[in-house]
Amino acid sequence: MASSQILQSEKPLVSAGARAEEALGKKIWIDLDNSPHIPFFAPIIKELEARGGSVMLTARDAYQVTELVDLFGLQCHRVGRHWGKNKIMKVFGLLNRTFKLLPLVFREKPDLAVSHGSRAQILAAYLLGIPCIVIIDYEHAHQGLLWVNAGWVICPSVIPDEALKQDKQHILRYRGIKEDVYVPSFKSDPATRSKLGLSEQDLVVTIRPPATEAHYHRPESDVLFAGVIEHLAEQPGVKMVVLPRNARQDAELREQWPQLIASGKIIIPKQVLDGMNLIWHSDLVVSGGGTMNREAAALGVPVYSIFKGKIGFVDQYLSEQGRLVLLDDVADAKRKLKLAHRSRTGEPEDQHRSAMRDIVDEVSLVLKSEAATKR
């Protein structure tokens, strides 16, 4: 897709706006089932409550979700866990969590369910007859379960209608990218490097391994990830902060590169970190996951993607803007990786961004639409 076509779709939206300003007076159920959802939903929750809504939170114990819930001081019900990469166990885990959610949600009686792709919430909402919104920013991710889909989809304006399995009347949009919801409130912590034993002279590369348990994972990403680690290990002055997604991946990393870890060339943090601060205090980022790539792009930090699944419209958009570099293979990585210190004086540019407001406006309008339908 040409740059002009992508940028054309970022013109200001007019579907919501001032019409959604009045108090909500409704209960919204938000389900957090992956770690990026916590910083994403935190400002949305605050805005929903400011408009008179009440929010019920549930969280799945997976990918450091519960640790981040504590870090952000969110009050929520913790229901279910991750069941690994085996497809049969994934289905069992989905059904298990869904049926654990049902009695809780039945008691709470929310007016609307909202998530960033929680299949358990979509299924539970369907079974209980609760209107449901799914927010997505990657059109190739499964948006539902067999015949069960959310009634509404909210996505970035750069994703075209034809890329979504949803009737056009129920596709809602927001300007910018998901990370624009929370990046404007970011404040840097100057002690970030020292907490990890890093000096100002170190050239710091933050690395997120591929999501090996995701349905969209490709083995080529693992090869590229290992090649980047080996290449950076040979570069003087470079320190790698590697962020495993779970305990299994942590153990695999320690088994594969024990000498690099022992020498301090690779640092695996012992506790959950503020990812935005780590990105901001890095010189560059290499990631197999979409959220960290886009957070770096939103902060203006050089970022390289080792993701080898289908490239989504948001990443195409960032790539054509020069804010994200897509790596093809190990040889390509060696050519394109620019190992240079970056200036970190001041704070990231805190420009006006409309993503969070657009999303809350659309949630408000769906609530009104569903309320009008029930009359």
In angstroms, the Cα distances linking 177 to 28, 140, 317 are 23, 16, 10
Q: Does 367 lie in the same domain as 324? A: no
Q: Does 254 lie in the same domain as 109? A: no
E-assigned strand segments in the chain: 27-32, 54-61, 77-81, 112-115, 132-135, 144-145, 148-149, 152-156, 171-174, 203-208, 238-242, 266-267, 284-287, 303-305, 325-326
Residue 342 lies in a domain: no
The region of weakest confidence among 2-11, 42-51, 135-144 is 2-11
Looking at the structure of the chain, the number of domains it has is 2
Confidence grade of residue 107 (pLDDT, cut at 50, 70, 90):
very high
Residue 344 lies in a domain: no
Give this prediction's pTM: 0.82
Residue 50 lies in a domain: yes
| SS3 at position 29 | strand
Range of the domain at 49: 3-184+353-374
Q: What are phi and psi of 26, to 5 degrees?
A: -130, 165
Q: Does 255 lie in the same domain as 164? A: no
Q: Does 137 lie in the same domain as 25? A: yes
Place of tokens 């008179």: 52
Q: What are phi and psi of 60, to 5 degrees?
A: -100, 140
Dump pLDDT digits (tens) for 143-159: 566 578 888 999 999 99
Residue 281 lies in a domain: yes
Cβ–Cβ under 8 Å, residues 93 and 117: no
| Confidence at residue 125, expressed as pLDDT on a 0 to 100 scale | 96
Dump pLDDT digits (tens) for 322-366: 999 999 999 999 999 999 999 877 666 555 568 999 999 999 999
Q: How far apart are CA 363 and CA 285, in angstroms?
A: 33
Q: For residue 148, what are its two tokens?
A: 């069960």
- Cα-Cα-Cα-Cα dihedral of 186, 152, 54, 120, to 10°? -90
Q: What is the CATH number of the domain that holds 120?
A: 3.40.50.2000
The residue type found at 2 is A
